[in-house]
Amino acid sequence: MLEVDVPTVELTRFRVEPGRVAELLGSRAAMLADFRADRTGFLGARLVRLPDDEWLDIVTWQTSEDFAASREKGPNLPGIAAFFAAIASLVSSEEGTEPDVDQV
């Protein structure tokens, strides 16, 4: 079988205090702009609001190595730092792949 490169998906679940939701959402555009400018392999992100003050950030990377390199950089730019600062606590962080079902 031919091996096909598939995107890596980062699933990060975190809590935000109700009084900081506006700060989180207000910093999102700058965070994404910083990711586009500074993170090799960044393909996109979706933010999902969950019950009980939890959120899920679904970030897609070209490769697992791109995701790992991004983690090493941390909040190195102002937009990224502002978004991370609004987060009260990390609930979980997972990595998976997004197979192309048309290739199966």
User: Domain for residue 76, yes or no?
Assistant: yes
Task: Return mean pLDDT, the chain.
Answer: 93
| Residues paired with 95 in a beta bridge | 10
pLDDT value of position 5: 74
Task: Write the CATH number for 84.
Answer: 3.30.70.100
Q: Give me the percent of the chain exceeding a pLDDT of 70.
A: 92
More confident residue, 45 or 103: 45
pLDDT value of position 101: 64
User: Domain for residue 17, yes or no?
Assistant: yes
Q: Domain count of the chain?
A: 1
Separation between Cα atoms, residue 1 and residue 52, nearest integer Å: 44
Question: Mean of the pLDDT values across residues 37-63?
Answer: 98
Indicate the Cα dihedral angle 24, 57, 18, 91, nearest 10°: -130
Question: Mean of the pLDDT values across residues 57-64?
Answer: 97
Q: Give the residue numbers spanning the domain of 56.
A: 12-98
pLDDT band at 2 (very low <50, low <70, confident <90, very high): very low
The Cα angle at residue 50 between residues 75 and 31, in degrees rounded to 5: 25
The strand ranges marked E within the chain are 8-15, 42-49, 54-61, 89-97
